[in-house]
Structures are given as structure tokens and as C-alpha cells.
Amino acid sequence: MVFQDLGLDPRLLRSVQHLGFAKPTDIQQEAIPAVLVGRDLIVSSKTGSGKTLAYLLPMMQRLLKSKPLSKQDARALILAPTRELAKQVYAQLRLFIANTPVTGALIVGGENFNDQEKLLKRQPHIIVATPGRFLDHLEHKSVYIQGLELLILDEADRMLDLGFMPQLNAINKAADHRLRQTLMFSATLDHAEVDELTLSLLKNPFRVALGAGHEQHSDIAQHFMFADHLTHKEALLKHTLQHAAIKQLIIFTATRDDAERLATLCTDLGFSAMGLSARLNQGQRNSVMQQFAAGKYQVLVTTDLASRGLDLLQVSHVLNFDLPKHAEEYVHRIGRTGRAGAKGTALSFVGPKDWAALQKIEAFLRRPVTFSSISGLEARFKGEIAPAVSSPAQVTAATTTRKPSHTKPKKTPQGATKPAKRFFEGGDDGTAPVRRKKNDVN
Ligand code: AMP
């Protein structure tokens, strides 16, 4: 299938051509025709699969071809969990509205409310927003969405994890009419609240599930290394920086303090590095991201703030200095590399404090991970079950497969051995959705 087969407006086809895309990705092939015939949609897909265009193109087609339901109200609303993702979606949208009468606005937290109010007074047709700030404007009556034609939720699972259910419900209520089409995208559908949202927001949705979160991403080589403590992790980081062929690297850490400290460490080692954390104000965050995207820095050190959505083709390596607490986040983090057909490498350090997280990741991926080691930097820590020892000189050559600890026989109180529960009985991924009380990224 080529884009021409989708029956899109010539202006949209020109923009696609301008981007250099020859044919729709799998998810675009499935989703675009369904949206064009007016279906609601629920999509789960792996990262980097082209989901943004899967909704932007049919959304634009509908807005270009049909009369607005209301002259004043916004026609389409795209909600995203983080400011960074909203900005990225907006940047793509701008390419598609450039040669059309359709107008758009970006409304995210951290920016001046009054300026946004002025922007909304101009009655943009499409709004890309984070839920918290958008609801503020709705309540402030700077925007009306009774005539909304399309509601699009990007990374719905992440919005729910960040505690946005009340905002999403309120927004849904403000635009609740039978002509509205709703599209929902989520990395995982194994999520109780996503189910709840699907039931309350979508009408008989068309389901697209391609490349579930746990499927191995063929373009990303994943390596895991044991580490004894912080200093050991730093030595491993130093070795990686000095020996890997890095174009750009994103390092993920557990805390803001570590993000700043490791950025300094990388700089001391002669790498141009920047730290990105929620401690920076929005202007600073934008500037760090822009400079990293423009290649001014080789290394970005961040907390989970940058784990989703970022689409930077030069990122050759992702390093989990600490493992994320939530297994799905692992998939999102490593998905910052290996984008759009490029090859990427993801490396994760596993110390005693990361052990519980590793087990969740193995459970989520539905397979045990493979460990490698660097000659001279082997760890004493080997997790609960020691892997068969092998430590050749090169990282990629030295691999050991550890049995998942879940399969270890457990002793009953009486001392008898009972067979351990197998991985994924019942197909549950074992990770409860997390609800953070307060959202500091929106
Ligand atoms: P997304 O999943 O929307 O973040 O997209 C991942 C990457 O794939 C981005 O760099 C897109 O620009 C790119 N992309 C989207 N659609 C296509 C396509 N049809 N052909 C090639 N690359 C694409």
C-alpha cells in the first residue's frame, strides 16, 4: 500500500512526500482507513511505529472535507501526557496545516496563561494540549468544545498513570455528543483504567494491536550489566562512553540530583552533556531539548521526563543508569533509540537496588534478560540467582542468560518444594498501573 491508496487530500499527500515517507507504516495502514470511515479507534502499538501520523492524517482529512459542527468551537483536540510530547505532536501538525486553511494552537502547562487565552480567542481549529492546562482554560471559559469533532488521546495509559482520569472525564463531558469521533492510543491495553476509559469514551471502537509492548524490538540491541554500587555504575558508564560508537546518548536516572551529577561527570570526561529534570523551568527544558535535538549536545541525562514521545533519529544509545520502577517505562525509555528503522543500543545497569525492577521488566517482557560484563569491571552482585560465569573482554561477546527467578522452586512452610508459578499465567503482565498523586510534568 502507498499513501496515494488512502484517498487523502493532495495537500496532505504533498506534506507526506515532503517528509520523504514512501508508504504508510503497519499501524497507519490499519488505523487511517478506519478513522476515515468514521470509526472510533483504540490502538496499542510499540514505540516509534508511526502512530502520530496514524491520527494526524485522517484527522486533517476529516477537517478539510467536512463542514464544522460549530463555527466557534475547537474542531479537534489532541491530548498528550507531557509538554514535551505535546510540543512534538504540534511540530508535526504544523507541517500538515501549513498549506491549508486549518489553524492550530499548542496549550501546555508552564507557559503564560493569558497569552494562551489570547491564542484561544482566535478560535483555532485544532488544539494540542496537556490535560491539566486545557481543563483550566475550559473552566475559565477561554475555550469551548461543545462542537468538538475529534478527541484524540495520545499515550492514554501514561495520562492515567499521571492521575489525569478526572481531567479526561471532565473534558469528555464538555464535548459529549454523538457525532464526536474518539481515537485512543496506548502503549499497553493491559491496564484497568485504560479499559474504564475505553468504555466511557469510545463507541464500538475499531481495535488495532500491533507489536505489543513486550515484543522484542528488532532494531534495538538490549544489554544488561550487573553493578555493585554507584561508583561501579560510574565506572561502567565511563567505559561505555569511551568505547561505544555513540552518536547521541540519553542516560536515564532515578533522581534529579543524579541527572545533574552525571551530566557533570560526562562533561568532565570530555562529552558535551546536559541534564534535564523537572527542576528546570519550562523555558530551560525547551532550550535543553532543542539543543539536544539540534545535536549541540551528545549526551542528555534525564529522569523519566524524556522517556516518551521524543523522536530524535540521532540517538544511537540509551543507558539506564538506574532501572525504572515501572516495567512499561523500560520499553518507552529504550524506544528513544532505534527509531524509524535506525539501529540502536540500550544498556541497563542492574545493582542491588534495581533488582526488584529487573524482575518486573522480565515479567513484562515475558522472557529472562541476558547479562554481559566488561573485563576488569565484573560485578560481585549477580542478582538472586548467579549466572553461569563468563567474562570475555568485549561487552557484546560476553553474554550469560539467567533463568528468571520466578521459576525458582519455592519452599512451602513445611519445607516441601512446590513448583514455582510460571511466567504470565493468565497473560497478566504483573505490573499494577501506578497513580501518582501529584503530576509535576504537566
Ligand atoms: P511516531 O510513532 O509517531 O513517534 O513515529 C516514529 C517515527 O517514524 C518518526 O520519526 C516519524 O516521523 C516516522 N514515520 C512516521 N510515519 C512514517 C512512514 N510512513 N514512513 C517512514 N517513517 C515514518
Sign of the Cα torsion 251, 256, 257, 260 reads positive
By most ligand atoms within 8 Å of CB, the mutation choice from 23, 78, 311 for ligand 1 is 311
The domain made up of 3-210 has a fold known as Rossmann fold (3.40.50)
Check whether 369 has a pLDDT greater than 50: yes
Residue type, position 77, single letter? L
- Per-residue pLDDT tens digits for 91-138: 999 999 998 999 999 999 999 999 999 999 999 999 999 999 999 999
Average pLDDT over residues 417-438: 30
Q: Which CATH class is domain 220-399?
A: alpha beta
- Least confident span in 166-180, 183-197, 241-255: 183-197
C-beta 50 within 6 A of ligand 1: yes
Q: If pLDDT is split at 50, 70 and 90, which confidence band does 32 have? A: very high
- Per-residue pLDDT tens digits for 299-318: 999 987 666 556 677 889 99
- Per-residue pLDDT tens digits for 212-256: 555 566 778 899 999 999 999 999 999 999 988 899 999 999 888
Longest dimension (CA), the chain: 75
Cα 282 to Cα 144: distance, rounded to the nearest angstrom? 26
Beta-strand relationship, 399-401 and 370-372: antiparallel
Average pLDDT over residues 396-407: 42
Domain extents for the chain?
A: 3-210, 220-399
C-beta 339 within 6 A of ligand 1: yes
C-beta 240 within 6 A of ligand 1: no
Number of helices followed by number of strands (H, E) in the chain: 14, 17
Q: Are 105 and 63 in contact (CB under 8 A)?
A: no
CATH fold match for the domains 3-210 and 220-399: yes
- Per-residue pLDDT tens digits for 59-93: 999 999 999 999 899 999 999 999 989 999 999 99
